[in-house]
Structure 1
Amino acid sequence: MESIAVTSAPKSMVWQGDELVSWTGGGRRWDRDGVEHRSPFAWSFPFDAGTSSASGPYSAVYQERGTKGVLLEGERVVRELNRSYYRAPNYDYPLALGRLGDGREVVVHCPEKYNVLQIEDAASGERLTAGSREPEDFFHSRLGLSPDGRHLLSVGWIWQPFGFAVVFDTALALTDPNILDGEGVLPAMAVMGGEVTAGCWLDADRLVLATGTEEWYDEEEEKLALPARHLGVWSVSQGHWLHRSPVPEADPGVLLLSRGDQVVSLHGHPRLLDTATGRIVAEWPEVRVPAKPTCFGGRRVPTPVAALHPDGTRLAVAQEESIALIGLP
């Protein structure tokens, strides 16, 4: 493991080639030799989180528990982003960037209402899911497009509060926006066992979800549901769990980064988990990150700041005074 000294802890990171870039830091970057390069510009607003499109040139910075964000193309500001004020201080900003199956780069967010997802063309801002809507009472939070752009994952919560997950077909949503208001392609009973705290796509078909310590199911749902303290791999095409495995740790946290058939879990410290068995392949307890159990709550715990290199060999994790560079086995 290597360590890169920083003048201040980055609040977001993304790999660009072999360089690390923090857009919340105004484009501050660290080259392959670990040299820090100053920001070309500065924000006059306290953005504290960021995300980037894996497929294109777009990035976004935002307030994780606020209502404001900015869409970027490189260093160019494309436009401002907003979300509803309603309970915004109590859960993480819902935002995803990526490419649909037809090649369009899009922004997925909830610009007006906490429970109404919208898909917009990134370049023009055209709303691709405009129309009359009848949404369920669901707080969308951590969003993620599948690698082929065909499906959208939302890990959010329903009122108890209780962490929950839904998956939507984006191609169908472009023809009928009400698709984004229903149950989607992931049966509710499949995720009514344990409280869903995190999720990510392994590939265009397989989705991995993690559950925390809270439970919620009855006897009918138990056979289909993902239990508490489990890691599950769901196949969208087959419509069932491929794997459901207990995890050694009680809380996998809110952030999973996919790497082939493995995921990096960040809760207290990074762990590399096998998705078929739930076992810990490797862990780094000396690299401390926030222990954040859910994407909602009255007390804000910052989401761990980490970036997995596209080739899957290196994990960068932000620390108070450094960036830890972990070589993955």
Structure 2
Amino acid sequence: MVVIMLLETSGVVRSLSWHGDALVDVVGGGRRWAADGTEHRAEVSWGSLLDRAVSHRRYAVLYVERGTKAVLVKDGKLLRELNRSYYLAEAYDYPVALGTLPDGLDVIAHCPDRYNVLEIEELESGRRITTGDRDPADVFHSQLQFSPDGRRLLSVGWMWHPVGVAHVFDVERAVVVPAALDGEGLLPLATGRDADIVSACWLDADRLAVAAGDDVWGGEQGAVLGPQQLGIWSFAESAWVHRHSSDRPLGALLGRGNRLVSLSGHPRALSAETGELLVEWPEVRVPERRTSYGRTDEPSPVAALHPDGRRLAVAGAGGIHLLLVP
């Protein structure tokens, strides 16, 4: 268990992202903590309604986690307002992701018109690049993430039972045929049907870590993932290269390379290859929330894993904990 330092904060931290060796809370107006722990004041105020954010390069989207409103900013300045469908918006987290396509175009993925229709737009201009006929499934998209190379888009949402579902879509194909964002996608057909998927994250451009919850949809026999099981899917091999059982709920996941961080109750670092617990920090409390839908009394954890995969920042009641992942 390694704690590098505890950074004191002047108020509640509602978002975290790494900018080099510094940490930034864009929801907090761009508050910044230098490598030595010095806090630099906010440059702007976004009010109290916006409570979470995703960041990418010079851009960020600040949003109401269980609401319909968001804003897109560049270098801390407003570009435009965003919205999502009001239908059951209070029941699941705002679906939004930022990324860069292989041709260098910075884009946003979100659901601006309908809860079950993913759209991809140019960040700078807002021009929609997924215009065409659509045939969406009845899925509430959430936990959107572009793969590091921008070729694939992950959605971990839910559908009525309710049951958690995971899909990965081919972004390059969707630019040509937008309905490619409406089908089963690139994961095995049974994924999200045999198992109740609660979270997932990219380890690299090829591998995806997927966590199942307590329930199995349709019975354990033949399930893609069993209860509280962690699976590592490789697109290059078109196979689950690792599957591990967990002795406790995994919650939200952060990943880099062969390291995974599980955020449920407190942070835990796991080996993606073996599922082995590398280290945990029980004294650093984070919400117990296990999925991005359902309960509304617990917000999502505020944490950021450095691109080096070693430095983990977790916001808590006492400030920002800087932790070292072995």
Give the TM-score taking structure 2 as reference length. Answer: 0.96
> Retained in 1: the 8 A contact 2:202–2:256?
no
> Retained in 2: the 8 A contact 1:292–1:301?
yes
After superposition, residues 38-77 of structure 1 pair within 5 angstroms as: 38-44=41-47, 46-53=49-56, 56-77=57-78
Alignment correspondent of 2:188 = 187
1:227-286, Cα deviation, whole Å (9 max, x unpaired): 11111011123222111110121x101x21112112111100000011222221111101
After superposition, residues 1-329 of structure 1 pair within 5 angstroms as: 1=3, 2-44=5-47, 46-53=49-56, 56-218=57-219, 222-223=221-222, 225-249=224-248, 251-253=249-251, 255-329=252-326
How far did 1:9 drift?
2.0
How far did 1:298 drift?
4.3
- Matched to 2:191, the amino acid is A
Secondary structure in 1 aligned to 2:142?
Answer: strand
How far did 1:193 drift?
3.0
- Matched to 1:102, the amino acid is D
Q: For the residues of structure 1 that align with 2:256 and 2:151, how far apart are their CA atoms? A: 20
Matched residues, number: 323
Moved more, 42-51 or 154-163: 42-51
Secondary structure in 1 aligned to 2:208?
Answer: strand
Q: For the residues of structure 2 that align with 1:27 and 1:4, how far apart are their CA atoms? A: 16
Q: For the residues of structure 1 that align with 2:9 and 2:259, how far apart are their CA atoms? A: 29
- Matched to 1:138, the amino acid is V
How far did 1:224 drift?
5.7
Q: Structure 2 regions of 5+ residues with no counterpart?
A: none
Quick one: percent identity of the two aligned structures? 50
Give the TM-score taking structure 1 as reference length. Answer: 0.95
1:64-111, Cα deviation, whole Å (9 max, x unpaired): 001011111111211111100000000000000010111110000000
Runs of 4+ in 1 over 4 A off after TM superposition: none
> Retained in 1: the 8 A contact 2:8–2:318?
yes
Q: For the residues of structure 2 that align with 1:13 and 1:234, how far apart are their CA atoms? A: 27
Secondary structure in 2 aligned to 1:179?
Answer: helix
How far did 1:223 drift?
3.4
* CA RMSD after TM alignment: 1.3
Secondary structure in 2 aligned to 1:188?
Answer: coil
Q: For the residues of structure 1 that align with 2:190 and 2:219, how far apart are their CA atoms? A: 10
Cα 1:212–1:218, aligned 2, differ >3 Å: closer, same or farther?
closer
